[in-house]
Structure 1
């Protein structure tokens, strides 16, 4: 099969590779669409020790079951494989499973390829009329859905129902759409990149700001660098909530003194639970997360150039979807 291989920092190659190694109970899926995530970019730059080269990256995918009794079933992929037997799994917090695996990290190869392998319980059926290119957005949207849910659950009911999302990439946009879908009426997005900001203003109803203008009860940091954590610390209202998704930098930015004195709740959010993924997919298929016209579609063969353009900041769309078969 053809695949895009992460070979070394800032080095990718598109070539023939063996078919995926199948673990017990795995199902083989023909990949029809796969998105590029910020974590793929971190790996590409050599900033993610969890993704050592050589490796097939990519975990935001949708496709068609290739073999077995469900051959032909259209599916979107929950890439997080868990043990289903530990306390975290039994309590519905599968994303905290100590034995969790995710495609695009060893021992599981990713979906920047024509085929990928996953257990059947990780597959969610996609309606026949729903495009698989849009179904691949379920994974990044689920990340935003999970953060939005946790942030809203932690928000004191006496506080104004208003949020600020820092970062207008796919996860920031997913957080905005999820907050709105979960009932929050007022959500602004901070995005300093002019091209990205214009794209967002053309494709969603949020107010797009180059920098935070006022404090907010709930802030979602979808970037996760020192500067955005500092902005979140400075602009969260007393008694408010900061939900942190981004993994751009490990250290710096949080004003721990202010967060302590103002009783600010800080929540680290990682991926999603199985229920979050299911809820996101159903909202996606029902139109509850908007028209989804905010991605650019390219072929997997252009992956090397696409990563270079993303790194250079010349891609306006929050998400690029790669198609392995055209």
Structure 2
């Protein structure tokens, strides 16, 4: 046998299929669409939507109806039928100087609460990234415990802490050189009293912000931070150009929720002032309550509450706009 006979024969590739004729699309396998696929999400959301409609639908409709009616004690007890007032309730509210003072006070209170909450929450969340594992766990447990404390209990505790006669805060501060706060009444003026209530609101809101931002910080790529440091960026530069842009969606969401919650503060003011907030302590929620259940003008109280809802809807609209901008950039 010669060497030529032992050579392995070359493999011939199989023939390629002929291309489809012009104008005829090639047949492609298509994935079968599950029957009723478009209806499945709505079916899953139906129980939640039904609960929301039952819990929030009727009160909201009733609120809108009352805001356009003259409704007082006589109408409440059925002695007289409810009378249509048109836009009179809104006109009386918007022409009242006290109402606009309450609006400004509410905006300042909410803005201060949100700013302090977000700044303090961000600082604590950043610090938690630099402590050991057991310390982080301990701090998270403390945060969850404080966050889970009922609002009435927390308000009562703060009321005792700032009590003019038996409050421990006055006693501790009076030990500082040149400070004499024994018997000092923190609620003698509106700004001081609202500052105490703001501290209470921030104390209750910080745990949620810290836990949420802490979870977001775990998603920041370490490679980007190391690259920024190699380029000469300091700690502030890394936070500004790397961490902050990645956390922007979470920060926008937390800020919006904080504005909504802080503009709707009610039990903290109501309990702290013994159920009768003075004029200097009135926010939109307590002002609406007083008009409805103290003055017994339920129509005007409903009008104030509806205006508050419209203001909050404006905040939600700004939130949706920011989220859409973030989505377009990404």
Query: Which protein has the larger Cα radius of gyration, Structure 1 or Structure 2?
Result: 2
Write 1 or 2 for the structure with the bigger share of helix: 2
TM-score, normalising length: structure 2? 0.23
TM-score, normalising length: structure 1? 0.23
Structure with the greater relative contact order (CA < 8 A, sep ≥ 6): 1 or 2? 2
